[in-house]
Amino acid sequence: MTERFTGQFTQQEPIPDEAIEAAMRVLQHGRLHRYNTVGGETAEAALLEQEFAAYTGAKYCLAVASGGYALATALRAVGVSHGDTVLTNAFTLAPVPGAIASVGGVPVFVGVTEDLTIDLDDLEAKAPDAKVLMLSHMRGHICDMDRLMEICTAAGVTVIEDCAHTMGGAWNGVASGRHGAVACYSTQTYKHMNSGEGGLLITDDEDIAARAVLLSGSYMLYERHLAAPPKEAFERVRYETPNISGRMDNLRAAILRPQLRDIEAQIDRWNERYRALEDGLRDTGGLTVVERPGAERYVGSSFQFLLLDWAPGKIRDVLARTAARGVELKWFGADEPAAFTSRYDHWRYAPSDRMPASDRVLASIMDVRVPLTFSLDDCAQIARIIRAEVSAVHQKG
């Protein structure tokens, strides 16, 4: 009898009891706005910022309304203005070029390798013509950050790291987000901490941090932030920095703080599931497993494999066959964007020259979400189904 997977690829774990209790306390006192406190009280948002700064090793942290808002704020805080070229990955998701376009920047895409990381040779060629690189660690794949920083430093390019998929990851022992001038994280439901929507921004630069806090809508209440630069930094920029309100509220911060305390254990659980999928799919004919480098500490909250040089019709056949058996695959090679999946040539507000080598890779990327509601047995079953259907289509020739 043909087995069928019956789990849900979008079902997250329940919010932890400790987080629910913290949220209830905020709801009961009603002070959801981060600056609405009573005497002697420290806002949940300020405590989250302090704790996330400590977790990442950053000097400064700002909690905001979404990961996309964090990206746009980072761009404004480093000085991107209308017409400035901002490099970013060809393999990313729409909020990244969207953030660049939202501040008037011009997205210029850098190629992707078969390792699903930014093409560093292409970056080296394009870096002299740009001010900023918004580096997307797309789907948790981290490139050789030592070489990337050498390229960007030599070209005078400021690096903003999009760490939406690498919270808890690292390269050569350095936490993801700690190489560039600024890093941005997401706490949207499908990320590593879940507040529905939310974002975090970290930096060691006090001027960038001060601008970011003011941009987020602090008015002149910036001294209530615990993970913020000294007052003097705000004095330098407060009259020239616009308020573009996007604060995180105390309810979401309260939900996130207990999740942050559990994140290392959660990372271990994700990586167990990732390895179960990897083991089940390795050596499948026609399928390429993306091998992870030894220098990378990844967080396996999603899994990608490649069907390199497959005809689109054959890939659509795999998608239909796995879907019929309960396994949802996303494909980055489709002609039209679908749900969360799109690619650089879909974003018509950011026109780009074709990149044939990258197009070949993008056309082959298959993507699997890995929620922690999956057991290891679930992951093994998903791998068996994918393996069987890929093999069946591949053998048809």
Is pLDDT at 366 greater than 80 in this prediction?
yes
Residue spans in the chain of domains classed CATH 3.40.640.10: 17-261
CA–CA separation, 41 and 43 (whole Å)? 6
- Predicted confidence band of residue 370 (pLDDT cuts 50, 70, 90): very high
Contact in structure between 148 and 180 (CB atoms under 8 Å): no
87-91, 187-191, 342-346: range with lowest mean pLDDT:
342-346
Query: Regarding beta strands 60-64 and 199-203, do their DSSP bridges make them parallel or antiparallel, or are they unpaired?
Result: antiparallel
Express each pLDDT in 314-325 by its tens digit: 999 999 999 999
Residue spans in the chain of domains classed CATH 3.90.1150.10: 263-396
Express each pLDDT in 114-160 by its tens digit: 999 999 999 999 999 999 999 999 999 999 999 999 999 999 999 99
Query: Regarding beta strands 158-162 and 182-186, do their DSSP bridges make them parallel or antiparallel, or are they unpaired?
Result: parallel
169-173, 245-249, 330-334, 356-360: range with lowest mean pLDDT:
330-334
Express each pLDDT in 179-218 by its tens digit: 999 999 999 999 999 999 999 999 999 999 999 999 999 9
Residue holding tokens 């011009």?
106
4: amino acid identity, one letter? R
Is pLDDT at 243 greater than 90 in this prediction?
yes
CA–CA separation, 313 and 302 (whole Å)? 24
Express each pLDDT in 23-62 by its tens digit: 999 999 999 999 999 999 999 999 999 999 999 999 999 9
CA–CA separation, 33 and 224 (whole Å)? 13
Tokens of 369: 């979400």
**Mean pLDDT, the chain, whole residue set:** 97
Measured from the Cβ of residue 230, the count of other Cβ atoms closer than 10 Å reads 10
Express each pLDDT in 255-305 by its tens digit: 999 999 999 999 999 999 999 999 999 999 999 999 999 999 999 999 999
Residue holding tokens 């507000």?
349
Measured from the Cβ of residue 156, the count of other Cβ atoms closer than 10 Å reads 10
Spell out where 206-345 has E strands. 288-289, 296-297, 302-306, 330-331
Q: What are phi and psi of 179, to 5 degrees?
A: -95, -45
Burial class (CB in 10 A: 0-12, 13-18, 19+), 369: middle
Express each pLDDT in 106-115 by its tens digit: 999 999 999 9
In this prediction, residue 351 carries a pLDDT of: 86
Q: What's domain 17-261's architecture?
A: 3-Layer(aba) Sandwich (3.40)
In this prediction, residue 375 carries a pLDDT of: 98
- Predicted confidence band of residue 396 (pLDDT cuts 50, 70, 90): confident
Is pLDDT at 313 greater than 60 in this prediction?
yes
Contact in structure between 211 and 234 (CB atoms under 8 Å): no
Give the predicted TM-score (pTM) of the model. Answer: 0.96
CA–CA separation, 146 and 156 (whole Å)? 15
In this prediction, residue 1 carries a pLDDT of: 55
Cβ-based neighbours of 34, under 8 Å, separated by 6 or more: 43, 44, 45, 46, 63, 224, 247, 248, 249, 250, 253
Is pLDDT at 94 greater than 80 in this prediction?
yes
Which numeric CATH code is attached to 263-396? 3.90.1150.10
Tokens of 215: 């941009």
> Taking residues 65-73, what's their average pLDDT?
98
